[in-house]
Chain A
Amino acid sequence: MASIWEYANPKKFIETSNRFLPWISGAAALSLVVGLVWGFFLTPDAERFGSTVKIIYLHVPSAMMAISAWFMMLVASLIWIIRRHHVSALAARAAAPVGAVMTVIGLITGAIWGQPMWGTWWAWDPRLTSFLILFLFYLGYMALWAAIEDDDTAADLTSILCLVGSVFALLSRYAVNFWNQGLHQGASLSLDKAENVADVFYFPLLVSIAGFVLLFVALVLLRTQTEIRARRMRALLARERMG
């Protein structure tokens, strides 16, 4: 049985991910189309929300991915700090913009949904506020990557920032909860059946969440490959200049 660390070899990583990438992208496209079409056109309007409920098929998956992406960056940063595999650092770097975009999608769809439901685009509600804070963390992380020229230094600094940031992001989440009571409804998905949204909405939601997860995986794999190739090209150019 091959060890998982073999995939830390950039060449091996590119070969393997190339083999899976078309399948993952295809599956992502398929489940996104199925989930969104099913959700938008084939479900009834909810009684209290009207047709505005349909934005849930974008809002919930993107919000979940925004948090999962940060978590993935945290794991990748830990792997970089502990085992110093370059692919891991590059994967964390590749995931950050995707996660930031997911956060923005979550915030924007939330605003569009909040306008008819709560009568306001924005409220200083705990969930909304912690998402805004998460977005600021993403911005800081990407800015630090962009600011440092040396790749290894940048990887070290950003991974430590990611660790410290995770602690403070969690802390802010609870601080914000304490600071203001919210408008936002509780969890719409949980293992506890009674809390769930009704089945008609639940299944298309699951499909579109799967679509977002696959999309995220495909994007991160692709962007990591790009980073590896870009770094390789820089190395080649540098070697040529040396003559």
Chain B
Amino acid sequence: MIALTLRDIRLAMRAGGGFGLGLAFFLIVVVLVPFGVGPRADLLAAIAPGILWLGALLACLLSLDRIFALDWEDGSLDLIATSPLPLETVVSAKALAHWLTTGVPLILAAPVLGLLLNLAPGAYGALIVSLLIGTPALSVIGTFGAALTVGLKRGGLLLSLLVLPLYMPTLIFGADMVRRSAMGIEGTVPMLMLVGITCGAIALLPFASAAVLRVNLR
């Protein structure tokens, strides 16, 4: 499993792996927002938690189809599936690699982009913590979506249509946690809900993803 994760990370880091793509997309979304809504500092501060979470979510979505597509095309997915490693573990390793190459850079970049959006000073901790808790759920749910659409040509748009509704609870609680601490209210409840969603997704969804992948490799 570790070997597989490391392999995926190496592949993503090398040229053409699209490592920085999600990050650049996040940056552009956040930079575009003030042009769309106007440069008023109080307005930006009010919408900053939602925009930051939404940007992270979309950047995550953008990189999902790479999880399985390249391995599917060159046939290495079949090889991995026939290896003694259980498919559930393979899927988890893929999700972990996706999180390390997409989620972690997003978490590191988010506070800097928060500065651009005039995020309230008290909310930076909550922003980092909520992304730290929430992005693994995004990766795991996204892996399920990627496994569903792996065999399809033009699966990218369908992937977004399938995955976005599944992202809704994570987005609601994540953004709410940041918003609460920006307003100085205690945000324990959304944080606990976010922890629950992430733990549940990590524990259960690999089984669904593996089942779906098995059908697609049939």
Interface status of B47 (Cβ within 8 A of chain A): no
Q: A148-B152, A175-B173 are in contact. Are A153 and B215 (CB under 8 A)?
A: yes
Q: Is the interface of B mostly helix, strand, loop or mixed?
A: helix
Q: A164-B144, A164-B205, A168-B166 are in contact. Are A140 and B161 (CB under 8 A)?
A: yes
Q: A140-B165, A147-B152, A168-B165 are in contact. Are A176 and B218 (CB under 8 A)?
A: no
Interface 1/0 per residue, B139-164 and A, CB below 8 Å:
00000100011011001001001101
Q: Which residues of B contact A160 (CB under 8 A)?
A: 148, 208, 211-212, 215
Q: Which residue of B lies closest to A138 (CB)?
A: B165
Write the nearest CB–CB distance from B202 to chain A, whole angstroms.
Answer: 14
Q: Which residues of A contact B215 (CB under 8 A)?
A: 153, 156-157, 160
* A143 CB contact (under 8 Å) in B158, B166, B168: B158
Complex CA distance for A153 and B148, rounded to whole angstroms? 10
Interface status of B76 (Cβ within 8 A of chain A): no
Q: Which residues of B contact A144 (CB under 8 A)?
A: 148, 158, 162
Interface status of A172 (Cβ within 8 A of chain B): yes
Interface 1/0 per residue, A167-207 and B, CB below 8 Å:
01101100110110000000000000000000000000000
Interface status of B197 (Cβ within 8 A of chain A): yes
Q: Which residues of A contact B208 (CB under 8 A)?
A: 160, 163-164
Q: Which residues of A contact B152 (CB under 8 A)?
A: 147-148
B148–A139 contact, CB under 8 A? no
Q: Which residues of A contact B169 (CB under 8 A)?
A: 168, 171-172, 175
A178–B172 contact, CB under 8 A? yes
Complex CA distance for A134 and B149, rounded to whole angstroms? 21
Interface status of B116 (Cβ within 8 A of chain A): no
Complex CA distance for A168 and B164, rounded to whole angstroms? 11
Interface status of B193 (Cβ within 8 A of chain A): yes
Interface 1/0 per residue, B207-218 and A, CB below 8 Å:
010011001101
Complex CA distance for A61 and B189, rounded to whole angstroms? 35
Q: Which residues of B contact A136 (CB under 8 A)?
A: 161, 164-165
Complex CA distance for A2 and B149, rounded to whole angstroms? 40
Write the nearest CB–CB distance from B134 to chain A, whole angstroms.
Answer: 12
Interface status of A35 (Cβ within 8 A of chain B): no
A153–B218 contact, CB under 8 A? yes
Q: Which residues of B contact A164 (CB under 8 A)?
A: 144, 166, 205, 208
Interface residues of A (CB under 8 A from B): 133, 136-137, 139-140, 143-144, 147-148, 153, 156-157, 160-161, 163-165, 168-169, 171-172, 175-176, 178-179
Could you list 14 further interchain pairs (A-B, Cβ under 8 angstroms) beyond the known A144-B148, A147-B149, A178-B176? A133-B168, A136-B161, A144-B158, A153-B218, A160-B211, A164-B166, A164-B205, A168-B169, A172-B168, A172-B169, A172-B172, A175-B169, A178-B189, A178-B193
3 tightest A-B CB contacts, nearest first: A175-B169, A156-B215, A136-B165
